[in-house]
Amino acid sequence: MLFSFGMDCLEIKDLTVAIHGQRILDGLSLVVPKGEVHAIMGPNGSGKSTLAKVLAGHQDYEVVSGQVLMDGQDLLAMEVDERSRAGFFLAFQYPYEIPGVSNANFLREAVRARLGSGEEIDAVSFYKRLYGLMDELGIDRKFTGRSVNEGFSGGEKKRNEILQMAVLEPVYAVLDETDSGLDIDALRVVAEGVNRMRSPHRGFLLITHYQRLLNYIEPDFIHVLAGGKIVRTGGKELALELEETGYDWIKEGALATA
């Protein structure tokens, strides 16, 4: 993609990323415009989480070359927390635990970090909104008092990521395998949560291994990541095809197009 989409998209241009000198992403380009849902699929170890973490600003990854623009802003030049406050959200594949810090307290600090100086959170409306979102996501209200992710089951952690996303209302959200580990009901609830947030002012990038999620959250495009770049892009029918064929075709195909 040689032209720029401008303001209303998350635009990844020719991104090459290495860790400990080893290239993981190799000239990856992808554009997620506001209002669209894109899905990335691809074999284990192909670099999907690497892409997500590089976008979030994880220090372990070295950006060798390329550019990422979020609504025209140079995302890679921003601090991790600046990116978040500017509207970038990552639902982690493996969310971290924060012992001793309650969920409610953590969310309140995250919301407070977005306020201007002198502004304060109104506790009553904060809790009202939080409880409302928890109810929608089927999260017990008792979870407000529990330490962030500590002792949460795999599925509870994933749901908690979606709760955080709902509270913070990002402009671009990357969901890294949020569906993995969810039971069938939870998957539906989480998908509904994401669908409620779909809007012309928000873009999503879903990382998943399963077509099932995409039945609930219908993507506009599906991309296949392999060999460090996007090797195929298609509509939602691509997921069905992948379910059939697996990734064996990449070995020859990717080499042929490289």
Ligand X SMILES: Nc1ncnc2c1ncn2[C@@H]1O[C@H](COP(=O)(O)OP(=O)(O)OP(=O)(O)O)[C@@H](O)[C@H]1O
> Residues interacting with Mg ion, by CB under 5 A?
48-49, 93
- Which amino acid, one-letter code, is at 61? Y
Q: CA 186, 187, 191, 194 torsion: positive or negative?
A: positive
Nearer to ligand X, 45 or 100 (CB): 45
Give the whole-angstrom CA distance, residue 246 versus residue 239. 10
Chain centre distance of CA 139? 20
Q: Are the C-beta atoms of 243 and 212 separated by less than 8 Å? A: no
Which residues in 199-230 are b (16+ Cβ under 10 Å) and which e? eeebbbbbbbeebebbeebebebbbbbbbbbb
Is residue 46 part of the contact set for ligand X (CB under 6 A)?
yes
| Closest approach of ligand X to the CB of residue 53, in Å | 8
Nearer to Mg ion, 121 or 230 (CB): 230
| Closest approach of other proteins to the CB of residue 149, in Å | 9
Nearer to other proteins, 24 or 91 (CB): 91
Tell me, by CB under 6 A, how many residues bind ligand X: 13
Pick one of 60, 119, 120, 252: the residue that binds ligand X (CB under 6 A).
60
Number of residues written out for the chain = 258
Give the whole-angstrom CA distance, residue 212 versus residue 77. 36
The H-assigned helical ranges of the chain are 48-56, 80-85, 103-112, 123-136, 154-168, 184-197, 211-216, 237-245, 248-257
Quick note: the x/- pattern for other proteins over 151-180, rule CB under 8 A, is -------------x---x------------
Pick one of 1, 113, 240, 258: the residue that binds other proteins (CB under 8 A).
113
Pick one of 109, 135, 218, 243: the residue that binds other proteins (CB under 8 A).
109
Pick one of 23, 58, 198, 209: the residue that binds other proteins (CB under 8 A).
58
Pick one of 1, 7, 80, 258: the residue that binds other proteins (CB under 8 A).
80
Q: Quick one: what does residue 147 bind among other proteins, Mg ion, ligand X, none, with the CB cut-off 5 to 8 Å set by partner type?
A: other proteins
Residue 76, CA distances (Å) to 48, 65, 81, 103 in order? 17, 11, 12, 29
Radius of gyration of the chain (CA): 18
Nearer to other proteins, 56 or 206 (CB): 56
Is residue 106 part of the contact set for other proteins (CB under 8 A)?
yes
| Closest approach of other proteins to the CB of residue 243, in Å | 31
Nearer to other proteins, 175 or 239 (CB): 175
DSSP E strands, 20-120: 22-33, 37-41, 62-70, 73-74, 88-91, 98-102
Judged by the rule CB under 8 A, the positions of this chain that interact with other proteins are: 56-59, 79-81, 83-85, 89-90, 92, 95-101, 105-106, 109-110, 113-114, 147, 164, 168
